């Protein structure tokens, strides 16, 4: 410790002051002369002093002499203030720059020292260096700022992730494109509160984008965005072409510069930042996501980073929805096709339960789909109503679909079911197992058709052949018999003019005519079946044709009385119309022959023609008999091929073809044929044909 020579010192105090980490100096007033200072103080001073003032040379000298004025002045003001106020004065945390990169920080206090009279005679100045604290504090603040910065970055990242995750989640569970669009828009709106959001999906076949969900400005017009062609002036079409996000920092500026129209709704509503993200998924353009913000959008903004990430999941979701829709449509198309198939289609799931049956299947089985879906074979109404063709019951485990479920492939299995209305139905079924990609059977499909009619035609055809051969053989055998009689008679020297010979000759003629008619019918049948029946229309007098048929029938019909009735005209009138003569004769002959066949000897057969001038477009024929008649339930079938009524006496010959030919011929003349009949009382067959001169 250095003391002014006039100042008395105490050893202990001196030592204490020298050891103190604080610099202490005493300045006399009003001279501002440094009168005492400890080592610490002098060392501090030395930093600022010129060499010749260093190491205590300042003691006894006024502050103005040795301290640079920039430092001295504030201190002198402080001295004055402390002296005047009689209160200590503190300068905290002031700093001095020592060199370019060294700054020293101080805390300094000025303490007034009073004499006995209370006058301030000197100032005690204490200096403590706080550079370390200050730098530590600064470092701490810096660390704090960095941590804060990192915290903000992390918080932003966390939020960004949260948004991306929420968007991804919002699109996860929806495959319906509209719901999907609404979810996306709602989620983005909640996080970004933009002015507008538009989600478009691509329609590549139309080169256009279609709006699927939107958040519009109040007066926005969705229509103008609902369908945007790839070549339109909108930014979204540009974004698609460039494959990358299109960002406009401020639409308002662009509108002012005339780059975009001012009247665009988003511009008019004050939209600024704009981003359009083309949504690509696996090189497939799915659509665009466009957002307009009320604030400008910097290229490196968090919104852009987040939205770019979100776009990936939105594109994926749109792709899934698109594929799902395609698959659904394909399924629907297939369903429609299957529904319309004339064959019944039935699906069994892996558990053997019916999962689907098409309309034809329902129609064939006469049990509604609702009643069948979910049933297993053994629970099905047909479990106890199915039979093999030999009438042995078919066990449910033997049903074709059930067998297919166990891996069998069933071809053309025929069986019979008895339907709820008690009608029998013969089914032909094919069935195959359905397998998943790894080959495991996960269902079976059975395709079945109703072959009842086919079967009965088959049966009728078989019967027909046996009947036909019998029918053909009968007249031949008869003719052979008559010929043998003639041969025998001539060998005996008899003339052909004897009554026996003449009867034999008549027999031959009658049977050969019968044979001819049979063969004609068969020929006609075959022409119809091969679509070779042609109609040759010419003008004929119907009255004459009828008279001709009547006369020739009278010649061969000996057991019955034939009568002819003209209704609305006279026998000598003529009714000239276009008709195929041969077919007309065949129609009439077939009806008369049936009347002869199916009515007892001695009964009357009436042939009639009705023509009414008031209804000149048609004329009507009829053939009426007093025969066995036809049961009402047979009537709908007698005009079908090979059908013969079940109550027939089998000795009455016939092929079951005559009426079928009548109906075909009449239809080909644009006419109609029907019958009125009562069993045991007789039948009347009517034929109505158009009257025409051409
Ligand atoms: P068929 O050779 O058996 O006579 P059709 O086709 O001419 O064949 O007639 C079909 C069936 O219609 C006959 O088998 C018979 O049962 C019934 N039928 C036809 N005409 C008459 C009739 N005039 N009276 C009663 N039954 C008839």
Give the pLDDT score at 412: 95
pLDDT, tens digit (0-9, with 9 covering 90-100), for 80-112: 998 999 888 887 767 777 677 777 777 888 999
Q: Give the pTM.
A: 0.49
CA distance 619 to 613: 10
pLDDT average, residue stretch 580-607: 94
Q: How far is the CA of 680 from the centre of ligand 1 (A)?
A: 14
Residue 626 pLDDT greater than 90, yes or no? yes
Of the spans 514-528, 543-557, 598-612, 638-652, which averages the highest pLDDT? 598-612
Strand pairing class (386-388; 120-129):
unpaired
Distance 659 CA to ligand 1 centre (A): 7
DSSP 8-state code for residue 395: P
Nearest CA to ligand 1 atom 12: 638
* 468 close to ligand 1 (CB < 6 Angstrom): no
Helices 302-340/177-192 angle, 10° precision: 170
Task: Report whether pLDDT(11) > 80.
Answer: no
At 90 the pLDDT is 84
DSSP letters spanning 177-246: HHHHHHHHHHHHHHHH--SEEEEEEEEGGGTEEEEEEEE--TT--THHHHEEETTSSSHHHHHHHHSS-E
Q: What is the pLDDT of residues 282-312, one digit of tens each?
A: 889 999 999 999 999 988 888 888 899 889 8
Q: How many CA atoms lie within 13 A of 636 on its CB side?
A: 1
How many other C-beta atoms are found inside a 10 Å radius of the C-beta of residue 164?
20
Q: Which two tokens stand for residue 472?
A: 């053909």
- Whole-number pLDDT of residue 433: 96
Residue 554 CA, ligand 1 centroid: distance in Å = 20
* Distance in Å, CA 656 to ligand 1 centroid: 7
Distance of CA 507 to the CA centre of its chain: 77
Q: Is the CB of 658 under 6 A from ligand 1?
A: yes
Helix and strand numbers (H, E) in the chain are: 19, 25
According to DSSP, residue 52 is labeled G
Q: Distances in Å between the alpha carbon of 485 and those of 477, 494, 495, 499, 504?
A: 12, 11, 12, 12, 7
8 A C-beta contact, residue 24 and residue 126: yes
Specify the ligand 1 atom closest to the Cα of 685. 23
pLDDT per residue as tens digits for the range 19-66: 777 888 999 998 999 998 888 888 888 878 889 999 889 999 998 899
Distance (angstroms) between ligand 1 centre and the Cα of 426 equals 27
- pLDDT at position 223 is 63
Residue 18 has pLDDT above 80, yes or no: no
Location of structure tokens 């004609």: 520
Pocket-testing residue among 592, 650, 659, ligand 1, by greatest number of atoms within 8 A of Cβ:
659
CB 639 less than 6 A from any atom of ligand 1:
no
Task: Return phi, psi of residue 680, to 5°.
Answer: 85, -15
Q: Does 75 score more than 80 pLDDT?
A: yes
Ligand 1 pocket test, candidate residues 594, 631, 641, 648, most atoms within 8 A of CB: 594
Q: Where are the beta strands (DSSP E) in 532-630?
A: 538-541, 561-567, 576-579, 604-610, 618-624
Mutate to test the pocket of ligand 1, among 560, 598, 607, 641 (most ligand atoms within 8 A of CB): 598
Per-residue pLDDT for 330 more than 60?
A: yes
pLDDT in tens, 448-462: 999 998 888 888 778
To test the ligand 1 pocket, which listed residue (644, 662, 675, 682) has its Cβ within 8 A of the most ligand atoms? 644
Q: What is the pLDDT of residue 400?
A: 95
Atom 20 in ligand 1: which residue has the minimum CA distance?
A: 594
Higher pLDDT residue, 224 or 252?
252
pLDDT, one tens digit per residue, over 631-669 is 999 999 999 988 888 777 777 888 888 999 999 999 999
CB of residue 467 inside a 6 A radius of ligand 1: no
Q: Which atom of ligand 1 is nearest to the CA of 629?
A: 25
Residues 664 and 533: beta-carbon distance below 8 Å: yes
- Residue 44 tokens read as 């501090």
Closest Cα to atom 7, ligand 1: which residue?
658
Q: Around Cβ 558, how many Cβ atoms within 10 Å?
A: 10
The per-residue pLDDT of the chain, averaged, comes to 88
Does the structure show a pLDDT above 60 at 4?
Answer: no
pLDDT of residue 564: 95
- Look at ligand 1, atom 19, and give the residue with the nearest C-alpha: 594
pLDDT at 338 over 70: yes
Question: Could you tell me which residues come within 8 angstroms of residue 68 by beta carbon, excluding any fewer than 6 positions away?
Answer: 48
Distance CA 582, CA 586 (A): 6
Specify the pLDDT at position 10.
55
Does the CB atom of residue 656 touch ligand 1 within 6 A? Answer: yes
């Amino acid at each position: 410790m250095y003391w002014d020579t006039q100042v008395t010192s105490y050893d202990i105090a001196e030592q204490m002051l020298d050891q103190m980490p604080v610099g202490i100096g005493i300045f006399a007033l009003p001279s501002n002369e440094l009168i005492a200072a400890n080592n610490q103080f002098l060392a501090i001073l030395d930093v600022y002093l010129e060499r010749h003032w260093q190491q205590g040379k300042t003691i006894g000298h006024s502050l103005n002499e040795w301290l640079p004025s920039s430092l001295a002045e504030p201190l002198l003001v402080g001295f004055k203030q402390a002296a005047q106020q009689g209160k200590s004065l503190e300068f905290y945390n002031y700093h001095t720059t020592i060199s370019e990169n060294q700054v020293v920080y101080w805390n300094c206090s000025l303490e007034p020292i009073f004499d006995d009279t209370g006058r301030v005679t000197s100032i005690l100045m204490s200096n403590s260096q706080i550079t370390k604290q200050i730098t530590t504090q600064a470092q701490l603040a810096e660390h704090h700022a960095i941590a804060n910065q990192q915290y903000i970055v992390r918080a932003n990242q966390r939020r960004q992730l949260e948004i991306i995750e929420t968007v991804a989640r919002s699109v996860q569970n929806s495959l319906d494109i509209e719901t999907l669009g609404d979810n996306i828009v709602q989620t983005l709106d909640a996080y970004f509160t933009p002015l507008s959001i538009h989600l478009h999906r691509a329609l590549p076949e139309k080169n256009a984008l279609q709006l699927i969900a939107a958040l519009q400005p109040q007066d926005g017009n969705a229509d103008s965005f609902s369908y945007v062609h790839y070549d339109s002036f909108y930014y979204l079409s540009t974004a698609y072409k460039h494959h990358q996000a299109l960002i406009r920092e401020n639409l308002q500026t662009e509108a002012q510069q005339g780059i975009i129209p001012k009247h665009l709704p988003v511009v008019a509503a004050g939209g600024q930042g704009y981003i359009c993200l083309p949504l690509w998924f696996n090189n497939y353009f799915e659509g665009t996501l466009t957002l307009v913000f009320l604030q400008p959008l910097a290229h490196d903004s968090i919104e852009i980073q987040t939205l770019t990430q979100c776009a990936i999941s939105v594109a994926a979701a749109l792709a899934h929805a698109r594929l799902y829709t395609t698959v659904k449509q394909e399924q629907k198309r297939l369903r429609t096709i299957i529904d319309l198939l004339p064959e019944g289609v039935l699906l069994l799931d892996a558990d053997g339960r019916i999962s689907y049956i098409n309309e034809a299947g329902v129609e064939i089985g006469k049990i509604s789909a609702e009643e069948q879906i979910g049933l297993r074979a053994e629970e099905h109404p047909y479990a106890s109503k199915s039979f093999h063709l030999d009438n042995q019951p078919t066990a449910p485990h033997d049903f074709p679909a059930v067998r297919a479920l166990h891996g069998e492939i069933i071809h053309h299995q025929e069986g019979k079911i008895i339907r709820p209305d008690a009608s029998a139905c013969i089914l032909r079924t094919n069935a195959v197992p359905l397998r998943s990609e790894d080959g495991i059977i996960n269902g079976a499909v059975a395709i079945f058709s109703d072959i009842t009619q086919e079967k009965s035609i088959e049966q009728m055809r078989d019967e027909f052949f046996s009947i036909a051969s019998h029918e053909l053989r009968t007249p031949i055998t008869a003719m052979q018999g008559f010929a043998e009689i003639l041969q025998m008679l001539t060998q005996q020297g008899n003339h052909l003019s004897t009554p026996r010979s003449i009867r034999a000759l008549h027999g031959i003629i009658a049977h050969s005519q019968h044979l001819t008619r049979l063969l004609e019918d068969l020929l006609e049948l075959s022409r119809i079946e091969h679509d070779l029946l042609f109609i040759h229309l010419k003008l004929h007098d119907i009255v004459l044709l009828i008279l001709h048929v009547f006369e020739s029938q009278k010649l061969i019909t000996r057991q019955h009385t034939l009568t002819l009735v003209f209704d609305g005209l006279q026998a000598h009138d003529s009714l000239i119309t276009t008709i195929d003569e041969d077919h007309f004769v065949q129609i009439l002959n077939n009806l008369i022959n049936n009347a002869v066949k199916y009515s007892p000897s001695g009964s009357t057969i009436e042939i009639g023609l009705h023509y009414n001038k008031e209804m000149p477009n048609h004329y009507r024929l009829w053939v009426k008999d007093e025969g066995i008649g036809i049961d009402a339930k047979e009537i709908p079938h007698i005009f079908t091929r090979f059908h013969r009524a079940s109550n027939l006496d089998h000795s009455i010959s016939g092929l079951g073809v005559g009426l079928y030919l009548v109906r075909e011929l009449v239809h080909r003349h644009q006419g109609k044929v029907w019958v009125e009949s009562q069993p045991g009382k007789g039948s009347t067959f009517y034929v109505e044909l158009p009257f025409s001169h051409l």
